[in-house]
Amino acid sequence: MPPEEPSNLLDGDPTPPPTPSDPPADPTPPSDPPADPTPAPADPTPPSDPPADEPAPTPWFQGDQLPEDWREQVAGEDSKTLNMLKRVDGIPTLVKNYIEAQETIRKGASAPAGPPEDPAKLAEWRKEQGIPEEASGYDFKLDDGLVLGDDDREEMQPMLELMHGMNLNNEQANSMVDTFFKMQSAGADRVAGQDRIDQTEGRRLMEQNWGGDYETNINLIRSMITQEFPSDIVDDLIGARLANGKALFNEPGVMAAFAKIARTVNPTAALVPSGHNPMQTLNDKIKEYEGRMKDDPTWHKDAAAQKDYMEMLTAREQLNARHGG
């Protein structure tokens, strides 16, 4: 007989094993367990009373009833919040304002509230924002220890009024005034620097044109200005500027014209010492030079003396013309 093939998963369902039969029922019913003759010991701890319900805290907001100090309770120690809540007439308005603010923020259009139109509310609003009641109330603490005097404030009053009308607080106004003076100082420094450049260049040109007469012509111009112009405008004239901003007496053309005028007004100023009789002094000096022309063989080599002699002749002619001589 061939051997049996082993069972494997390729086989069909295996034959279930036989189910054992139930054992026969016990005809005798089970008896109750014997009772324990020893009683259980009593619990010495008396039973505790059930815990009483804790009273619920009384809410500060019940329906439409609000305590009078609800704003103080909400704000706590924050005075700024309290001031803002005092402008709200109740919870409904507060909720409405909150919702509107949230909507504005979500739309990306959040912006500080502008000043109220009511004058009474405007005064309160300005106080909260650090804005003085009047333009004169700004308290400036400027950089570099600069202090505004009464004259400065009077001169700047239009600017102060403008800043107050724009509702700038004290810090903002202080920054603007500080910047204003710094710009003024920077502008003055630029002008002074350009003046030094113009002065150096002007002197170079005038020394080139006037040669050895430079100092003489400068003194002539100064003397003429102080003698011929009213004393109360001398400083204004010397400090005057042309339309292009250049100092008047840093312009070579102006200097040349004033030197010519000075020599015309007082032809002996550069030739005769102050306090002497101009005509007598000129005549004496001319006579001295003419004597040298006859007797001094070095005369024709003395260029300075010859130049001085010609200037004295011109000055004498001009004096005679002025006096009708």
312 in any annotated domain: yes
Q: Looking at residue 44, what is its pLDDT?
A: 56
% pLDDT > 70, the chain: 74
pTM for the complete prediction? 0.49
pLDDT at 273: 58
* Confidence (pLDDT) at 9: 37
Is position 325 within any domain? yes
Specify if 308 maps to a domain.
Answer: yes
Which of 112, 132, 165 is at the close of a domain? 112
In a domain, 94, yes or no: yes
| pLDDT reported for residue 256 | 95
Residue where a domain stops, chosen among 112, 147, 181:
112
Sign of CA dihedral 200, 201, 204, 209: negative
Task: Say what the pLDDT of residue 180 is.
Answer: 92
Tell me if 300 is assigned to some domain. yes
For residue 240, is it within any domain? no
Residue 30 lies in a domain: no
How many independent structural domains does the chain possess?
2
Q: 81 in a domain, yes or no?
A: yes
* pLDDT tens over the chain, length 325 residues: 444 444 343 344 555 545 555 555 555 555 555 555 555 555 556 555 656 666 665 555 555 577 888 888 888 888 888 888 888 888 888 888 888 888 877 776 545 667 888 888 888 999 889 999 999 999 998 888 888 888 988 999 999 999 999 999 999 999 999 999 999 999 999 999 999 999 999 999 999 999 888 988 898 899 889 888 999 999 999 999 999 999 999 999 999 999 999 888 877 666 655 556 667 777 888 888 888 888 888 888 888 888 888 887 887 887 777 666 5
- Residue 250's pLDDT is 96
Which residue, of 83, 112, 141, is where some domain finishes?
112
Domain that holds residue 312: 275-325
Q: Identify the pLDDT of residue 8.
A: 42
Q: How far apart are CA 140 and CA 285, in angstroms?
A: 68
